[in-house]
Amino acid sequence: MTSAQVVEAREEHIVAMSWNMRDADRREVWASTHLTPGDALIASVQPDVCEWSESYAAFIDSQLVAMFGVVCVRIDEGVGAIGVPWMLGADSLTKYPLTMMKTSRKWLASFQERYDYLGNFVDARYKGAVHWIEALGFTVFEAAPFGPDDALFHQFEWRRAD
């Protein structure tokens, strides 16, 4: 079975991913933020509103297939450590669904060790991403208006069991 190599994200990964991002990811980024793929990746990798973030680039067979990470971490007295997970993929990602699911589960388990709450939003039109998030074990809520155009998005979350 093919395995993924994961490295810390760098500027050259942002450039490559912004050119090779899946159309569904481009649409989701625009609907949620009105950002271009490159600007969305910069905002995720180098957020100016957060004190801390972690971001990674995933390669399979030497191809950049995805970038992912967690941003906007803070400590909330009632919740604990809060993180906003994200992942954006290249067209080539669809060639490796089992490898990326295994990699996603491994990294999600790592994030779950460090955060008490993980949550974000996913475009309701992006059925593949919604199914992916559900397969990873997140709770996915009913779609509701979100973003600058009030497009329908599902909120998803994971909480550490008490």
Q: Which CATH topology does 5-119 take?
A: Aminopeptidase (3.40.630)
pLDDT for res 162: 63
pLDDT confidence tier of residue 114, bands split at 50, 70 and 90: confident
Does this model's pTM top 0.85? My answer is: yes
Mean pLDDT along residues 84-113 = 93
Query: What tens digit of pLDDT does each residue of 120-150 get?
Result: 999 999 999 999 999 999 999 999 999 999 9
pLDDT for res 1: 58
pLDDT score of 24 more than 80: yes
With tokens 């600058």, the residue in question is 148
d(CA 139, CA 158) in angstroms, rounded, equals: 6
Query: What tens digit of pLDDT does each residue of 47-93 get?
Result: 665 566 789 999 999 999 999 999 877 777 777 888 899 999 999 99
**Structure token digits, residue 109:** 């388990």
pLDDT for res 49: 56
Where along the chain do its domains lie? 5-119
Helix-strand-coil percent breakdown of the chain, rounded to 5?
Answer: 40, 40, 25
Q: Note whether 9 and 55 are within 8 A (CB).
A: yes
Angle between helices 11-20 and 37-45 (to 10 degrees): 150
Strand runs labelled E in the chain? 5-8, 54-60, 63-76, 80-89, 117-123, 139-146, 151-159
Query: What tens digit of pLDDT does each residue of 33-52 get?
Result: 999 999 988 888 776 655 66
Residue ranges in 22-96 assigned as alpha helix (H): 23-33, 37-45
Please state the φ and ψ torsions of residue 15, each to the nearest 5 degrees. -60, -50
Percentage of the residues of the chain whose pLDDT score is greater than 90: 74
Which of 131, 139, 132 has the alpha carbon at shortest distance from 156? 139
